[in-house]
Structure 1
Amino acid sequence: MSKKPSLSFWQILNMNVGFLGIQYSFGLQQTAINPIFLYLGAPEEMLPILNIAGPVTGLIVQPIIGAMSDKTWSSRWGRRKPYFLIGALMGSICLFAFPHSPLLWFAVGLLWILDVGNNMAMEPYRAFVGDKLPEKQLSLGYQMQSLFVGAGILLANGSIVLFQYLFGDETVEVAGTIPQWIYYSFYIGAFLSLTTILWSVIKTPEIPPTDDEMDEINKIKALPFLQKAGKPFVEIWDAIKEMPKFMWKIGAVYLFQWYALFIYWQFTTPLFMKTFNYSTSEAASQAAKMSLTYNTVTMIVALMLVPLTLKFGGKKIYALSLLGTAAALFSIPYIADPNLVLIPMVLFGIGWAAMMGIPYTMVSKVVPQERRGVYMGILNMMIVIPMFIQTLSFGPIYKYLLGNNAINAILFAGVFFAIAAFLAMRLNITKSVYEEES
């Protein structure tokens, strides 16, 4: 493969702007979706299973879209961009409709469609960065995505806090009704989901396939429909069989890391309802403030991690960040002041910045260019499988082992982060056989 040209800082920023809209949507999912379920009458122990849309759609959609985008090329639209646009359009429509959900089942159904759209937009984005950047700029590219992860979620949660302050009535909650002040955050998300993706699509040209890649794409186009439809599944299976050992190791880290993250996102609102005796709206607002804090930290430190990982190595920074996240969760339930409880979010924000950047940099260095899309999809499978396990298993764990106590749920998540930190120290990268020729 010929050497890719280095891009300027602003070119790398422009290519990642679309991540802002995608992550705004995920920010609403982390903070606003579960309170909406509670408003519509969902019991706390049902929250994990009601969130099963995320892991199921991620498990199915991302590897398939990754495999398809590897074998796609349009002289007008490119390789990854068509999937960005379709996913962003689906997400935009769902975000506009979500706060109007009249019943719980309607909201749950919309979450499924929203997750399909978000996963369809996000997966090719990971491969897009690897396609465009030489290896020496991969860390900057993926940490730039981490910055936009923080920015998107920051804006989402900041809007929730702002609109509740401006339009919310914290003294009145009507059972079965979603407060109107939540609507505005979703409307902003519907706008950003589409416009930020369009910015990156317009500003960033894709690198055309090589002659060999184009021959392979044309061969697939010439196949009968059924064979063509089955090709992504064959690609996924072949990629799993030939997957680098490093990816199996990172899968072990992800098992504990993402199980713990899903617990945190689901149970921060119930936690503050218990520890501070808050109403659902007050607890949701406090959870949004927590997310505001850690995503602000993520924005600040994301690019600072680039020189640190180059100096000390990705696995050390990653493991230390996970350990800091564990410490944050161990402390949160025992802080009695709603303002002081924001302090542990500094450690959580550093961990979140590392989680959303460092693993992708590592994996991008050890997978072949022509399979980057499908391997980024498989990496996402390693995210959603723990989430899927969590949605099925944690409801009974919460009810029968943790005593329906949100404090115990958060401490449980802290233990899993500590285990993930230990496993991260096993992530040794050897020189890739797929490394670009200089």
Structure 2
Amino acid sequence: MNKKKLSFLQIWNMSFGFLGIQFGMALTGGFMSRIFQTLGAEIEDIPILWVAAPLTGLIVQPIIGYMSDRTWSPKWGRRRPYFLIGAILSSLALIIMPHSPTLWVAAGFLWVLDASINISMEPFRALVADKLPSSQRSYGFVIQTLIIGVGTWVASSLPWMVSQFGVSDSAASGIVPMSVKVAFTIGAVVFLLSILYTVFTTKEYPPEDMQAFEEEKAQKNRFVADILENIGNMPTIMKKLGVVQFFSWFAFFTMWSMANPALTEHVFKTPAPVEKEYVMSNPVQKAAFDVENTAFQKSSNEVGSYMGIYGLSSMAFALILVLYTRKRRINRKYIHMGSLILGGLGFILMYFIPSPEYLAISFILIGFAWGSILSMPYAMLSSAVNPTKMGVFMGIFNMFIVIPQIIAALGGINFVSNLLGEETINAMIVAGLSLIIAGLSNFLITEKNAITYQENN
């Protein structure tokens, strides 16, 4: 199919729903560990409580990709029905999540929320490749990254923002503060509205060969066989990018799960108080616990706000690339390599900073890596994928995102960081080293069309 070039506004409209998806991801990434700690989780148990998220992605994304490839409605298109279903479920989960009464309920809702986010997220990756000619794909994924950066920045700062309007950061033992509850509710509304905007402003191309599409769709009981066949036939570039993705996502999963306990303890000097160490029936000890808990909740707001900076810098990174890629080619390989190495240095710097305000430098550097992770691998991959199987291949590619997260959750973070010592901040050093390895792994990529797309004029 000869796809026409789209305007900036058209690409913006088709990508805008990612604002809501990123609200959901940033709220969970920035504050889920805080919720777990508030409900009584020990620091060493936090990674395993996150295991639901990548496990869900491993299962859901290939299924949704396969199903969306085989879906077509003249009114709703191919990918948009999945955006909408995922948005409704995600919004409900976001509202309920911070009201969880116990740790296991919160972990269960993280499972539900991540499954719902995956239903919306995977088809968005495929939509960019569906709608844009190869010459615009770097541009399209970068615009998507720009929107993701906005979402990360705003959502990560939401608890701090609402607390500035007088919403309380204090709460009784085992209760999530109202500032977090309000922030998650706002996130739910933004999630649904942004998805609706994309659904109603974007049209999709029908299958190029409708007869072949209907014949393939009519085949029964081919799901597992098709998935396995496509895994066996994945392009070489996907395997090479898989190595880069493995270390990239190990690093960011480490940040999402461990940054709050690591930074509140090492940088802010306000670790979460452990309730069992206090005699809560003693008024003096209860008062001491409440003071320390409020300090932890306030510094957690600050950590979230600083984490929002990586969304802001990824937005700036994306904006520069948007302006550049509109008219010029880029070397995706070296941009990705340099960005990941800078992000790795940002993580390592966290160990050495003398006061919290220097966290801004770390997260600016991390934002360069995040902006590149969200755009360059997908732009490189889309050059080598059969357009009729874009959804399922994007879903399979997600394996290289979730498998490292599963390994990290099942003990990888604790094992590697404990090699450096018992301090929680060592997890951030592990994240930094992992990102640097990811950056250097780009030397594996040699496919010229993946590295730099040459448009035929």
TM-score surpassing 0.5? yes
How do 1:37-76 residues align onto structure 2 when only pairs under 5 Å count? 37-76=36-75
Counterpart of 1:218 in structure 2 is 214
Rounded Cα–Cα distance in structure 2 between residues aligned with 1:219 and 1:92: 36
Question: Is structure 2 residue 358 aligned with structure 1 residue 340?
Answer: yes
Change (3 A) 1:168 1:38: farther
1:238 to 216, 229, 232: 229
Residue type matched to 1:283 in 2? S
1:66–1:123 CA contact under 8 A, matched in 2: yes
Structure 1 partner of 2:119: 120
Q: Which runs of 5+ in 2 are unaligned?
A: 271-294
Q: 1:264 aligned to 244, 251, 255, which one?
A: 255
Shift of 1:303: 2.9
Tell me what 2:24 maps to. Answer: 25
User: Alpha-carbon deviations, 1:359-418, whole Å to 9, x = none?
Assistant: 111111111101110111111111001001110123541685344312211111111111
Q: Which residue of 1 aligns with 2:400?
A: 382
Alignment check: 8 A CA contact 1:35 1:280 kept: no
Corresponding residue for residue 298 of structure 1: 314
Alignment deviations for residues 187-219 of structure 1 (CA, whole Å, 9 cap, x no partner)? 1111111111111111110001122xx234423
Q: CA deviation at 1:280?
A: 2.7
Superposition pairs of residues 189-200 of structure 1, within 5 angstroms: 189-200=187-198
Shift of 1:305: 2.4
Whether 1:285 aligns to 2:301 is yes
Q: Retained in 2: the 8 A contact 1:398–1:405?
A: no
Q: CA deviation at 1:90?
A: 0.6
Deviation per residue, 1:167-190 (Å, 9 max, x gap) = 3555x5532111111111111111
Distance in 2 of aligned mates of 1:428 and 1:220: 34
Q: Which runs of 5+ in 1 are unaligned?
A: none
Query: What is the CA-CA distance between 1:255 and the residue it aligns to?
Result: 1.2
Native 8 Å contact 1:365 1:435 kept in 2: no
Equivalences for residues 176-191 of structure 1 within 5 A: 176-191=174-189
Which among 417, 425, 429 is matched to residue 411 of structure 1? 429
Comparing 289-298 and 84-93, the one that deviates more = 289-298
2: CA distance, partners of 1:395 / 1:246: 28
Is this contact kept in 1: 2:264–2:299, CA < 8 A? Answer: yes
Q: 1:337 to 1:423 in 2, by over 3 A?
A: same
- Shift in Å at residue 349 of structure 1? 1.2
Q: Whole-Å Cα distance in 2 between the matches of residues 343 and 148 of structure 1?
A: 22
Task: Give the whole-Å Cα distance in 1 for the aligned partners of 2:258 and 2:154.
Answer: 21
1:84-103 alignment to 2 at 5 Å? 84-103=83-102
Name the amino acid aligned to 2:41. Answer: A
Give the structure 2 partner of residue 317 of structure 1. Answer: 335
For residues 234 and 404 of structure 1, what CA distance do their matches in structure 2 show? 46
Aligned residues: 428
Residue identity opposite 1:155 in structure 2: V
Paired position in structure 2 for 1:392: 410
| SS of aligned partner of 1:321 | helix
Structure-1 residue corresponding to 2:108: 109
User: How far did 1:341 drift?
Assistant: 2.0
**% same residue:** 39
Displacement of 1:36 in angstroms is: 0.5
Between the aligned partners of 2:123 and 2:370, the Cα distance in structure 1 is 21
Residues in 2 aligned to 1:393 and 1:361: alpha-carbon distance in whole angstroms: 32
Distance 1:307 1:365, change over 3 A: farther
Deviation at 1:330, TM superposition (A): 1.2
Q: For the Cα contact (< 8 Å) 1:249–1:427, is it kept in 2?
A: yes
| C-alpha distance 436-299 of structure 1, shift in aligned 2 (>3 A) | closer
Structure 1 residues 272 and 206: alpha-carbon distance in aligned structure 2, compared to 1, 3 A threshold: same
| Separation in structure 2 between the aligned mates of residue 398 and residue 253 of structure 1, nearest angstrom | 19
| Superposition misfits of 4+ residues, deviation over 4 angstroms | 306-312, 434-438
Match of 1:426 among 444, 448, 451: 444
Aligned-partner SS, 2:446: coil
Q: 1:339 to 1:395 in 2, by over 3 A?
A: closer
Q: Is the 8 A contact 2:353 2:359 kept in 1?
A: yes
Query: Residue 269 of structure 2 aligns to which amino acid in structure 1?
Result: N
TM-score normalized by the length of structure 2:
0.89
* SS in structure 1 of the partner of residue 319 of structure 2: coil
TM-score (norm 1): 0.93
**Structure 1 residues 208 and 437 mapped into 2: Cα distance closer, same or farther (>3 Å)?**
farther
What amino acid is the match of 1:385? I
Equivalent AA in structure 2 for residue 242 of structure 1:
N
Distance 2:180 2:256 in 1: 18
1:286 positional shift: 2.5
Residue 35 of structure 2 aligns with which residue? 36
Tell me which residue corresponds to 1:273.
Answer: 264
Could you say what secondary structure the match of 1:367 adopts?
A: coil
Q: Which residue of 2 aligns with 1:250?
A: 241
Provide the residue aligned with 1:203 in structure 2.
201
**C-alpha separation between the residues in 2 aligned to 1:237 and 1:169?**
51
Q: Deviations over 1:208-232 (max 9, x none)?
A: 1122xx2344235544xxx3xx433
Q: Is the 8 A contact 1:61 1:120 kept in 2?
A: yes
Residue 377 and residue 180 in structure 1: after superposition, are their counterparts in 2 closer, same or farther (change >3 A)? same
RMSD of aligned Cα (Å): 2.1
The question of whether the paired residues in 1 share the 8 Å contact of 2:332 and 2:376 is answered with yes
Amino acid corresponding to residue 192 of structure 1 in structure 2:
V
Amino acid at match of 1:253: V
